[in-house]
């Protein structure tokens, strides 16, 4: 039998992919939503470095920041806009004229104009009526178009808003000149089945417009929900490298890319050979360590300890690895511990140019198990304590720094 006949892929067999758009364009949010990760900020040079690598890898769209936020943010957005990237460079703006003016001045290709649209957000955050939000949204889209910018219209908390109002708001902004409708699961409350139904309803109700999806990961389903939306024809999914972003982050760039490539047999146009390089670069720049069990880029993603698994992988990697690790710039590791078997030990010895008898290998395996099971755990407990304490101290401005700044503004800290 051929190798492809040895495994079943029901994603392909059951035509799950029949609703996939002809072209999926990745909208990368690392430089905007990713930077909103608590305690993270990028320098101008760091933003440029990440933007150029994303561009080199084939990302089609990137939102690089909100230029009105600060002088440095404006400088960074303008620098990226002037870099001559192949990707569409977007600057984000509220439904505020000065925000849009800042995008125009920065020279971006397009602006993503965002506003809240659920009744919850309207009542407690914006304190505006539906009619007021619709009016300022249409005015903002028209203003941006009149000033030479393409527009993506974005609403926060779209999936928890009244669908009739969502339809009215987006159709009005499409008529005003928005080229793309960005729909947001702002607090990560959708499920894949609900997302399929919801996108189906959106497609029935919306005027012709390109659909884009922005999913958060509060309940761990950002990638699954994004894939469900793409299955239904949403052409532009949003991602961040390593899934960083506010709270629990966004749909992970590497997971969504590899999901489409490996499960859907869909060529994304992304250079997957640089996935790990990109991931580790963003890890270093942000200071946010990758979870050890993070899919694709985490330390354990291609690490094996179990004797059964190690034996299977040594015979055929596909037995316990769905992805060719070398294709994304990674290498396989065998971890030696309580669950180690003979195959991993023999492999390590062979690679070192040593030949061992079965008895010698057995003795080594037994020694590894004995050593692993009697190791003290005090070091790992202390490491976790130190890590947690350091995280509290280094994320953002410390309490001491806050009160020093307040004192400079004429306020005395509490005794």
The DSSP secondary structure of 239-254, one letter per residue, reads EBGGG-SSTT-B-BHH
Give the model's pLDDT for residue 2: 67
Separation of alpha carbons 98 and 104, rounded Å: 10
pLDDT at residue 126, as a whole number: 96
The pLDDT score that the predictor gives to residue 387 is 74
Q: What is the end-to-end Cα distance of the chain in Å, rounded?
A: 77
pLDDT at 398: 76
Confidence at residue 386, expressed as pLDDT on a 0 to 100 scale:
79
**Rounded CA separation 246/370 (Å):** 44
Q: What pLDDT is attached to residue 1?
A: 57
Q: What is the pLDDT of residue 331?
A: 93
CATH of 16-286, one of 3.40.50.300, 3.30.70.20, 2.60.40.1180, 3.20.20.70: 3.20.20.70
Residues of the chain falling short of pLDDT 50? none
Domain boundaries, the chain: 16-286, 299-373, 381-408
- Helices 307-315, 342-351: crossing angle, 10 deg rounding: 50
With a CB cutoff of 8 Å and minimum separation 6, the contacts of 221 are 188, 190, 191, 192, 215
């Amino acid at each position: 039998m051929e190798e492809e006949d040895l495994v079943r892929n029901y994603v392909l067999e059951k035509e799950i992919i029949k609703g996939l758009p002809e072209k999926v364009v990745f909208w990368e949010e690392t430089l905007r939503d990713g930077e909103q990760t608590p305690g993270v900020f990028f320098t101008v040079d760091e933003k440029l470095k990440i933007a150029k690598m994303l561009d080199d890898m084939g990302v089609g769209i990137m939102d690089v920041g909100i230029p009105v936020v600060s002088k440095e943010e404006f400088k960074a957005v303008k620098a990226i806009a002037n870099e001559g990237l192949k990707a569409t460079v977007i600057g984000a703006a509220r439904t505020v004229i000065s925000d849009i003016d800042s995008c125009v001045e920065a020279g971006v290709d397009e602006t993503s104009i965002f506003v809240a649209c659920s009744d919850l957000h309207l009542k407690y955050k914006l304190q505006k009526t539906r009619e007021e939000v619709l009016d300022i949204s249409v005015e903002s889209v028209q203003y941006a178009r009149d000033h030479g910018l393409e527009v993506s219209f974005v609403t926060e908390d779209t999936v928890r808003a009244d669908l009739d109002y969502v339809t009215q708001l987006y159709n009005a902004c499409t008529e005003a000149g928005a080229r793309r409708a960005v729909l947001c699961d702002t607090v990560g409350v959708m499920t894949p089945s609900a997302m399929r139904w919801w996108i189906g309803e959106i497609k029935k109700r919306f005027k012709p417009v390109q659909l884009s999806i922005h999913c958060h990961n509060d309940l761990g389903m950002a990638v699954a929900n994004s894939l469900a939306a793409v299955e239904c024809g949403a052409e532009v999914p949003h991602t961040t490298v390593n899934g960083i972003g506010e709270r629990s982050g966004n749909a992970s760039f590497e997971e969504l890319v590899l999901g489409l490539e490996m499960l859907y047999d869909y060529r994304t146009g992304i250079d997957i050979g640089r996935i790990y390089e990109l991931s580790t670069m963003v890890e270093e720049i942000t200071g946010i360590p990758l979870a050890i069990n993070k899919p694709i880029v985490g330390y354990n993603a291609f690490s094996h300890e179990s004797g059964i698994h190690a034996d299977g992988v040594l015979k055929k990697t596909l037995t316990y690895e769905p992805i060719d690790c070398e294709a994304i710039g990674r290498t396989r590791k065998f971890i030696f511990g309580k669950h180690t078997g003979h195959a991993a030990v023999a492999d390590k010895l062979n690679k070192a140019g040593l030949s061992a008898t079965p008895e010698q290998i057995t003795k080594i395996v037994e020694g590894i198990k004995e050593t692993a099971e009697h190791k003290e755990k005090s070091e790992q407990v202390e490491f976790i304590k130190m890590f947690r304490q350091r995280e509290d101290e280094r994320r953002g401005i410390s309490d001491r720094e806050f009160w020093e700044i307040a004192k400079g503004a004429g306020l005395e800290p509490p005794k």
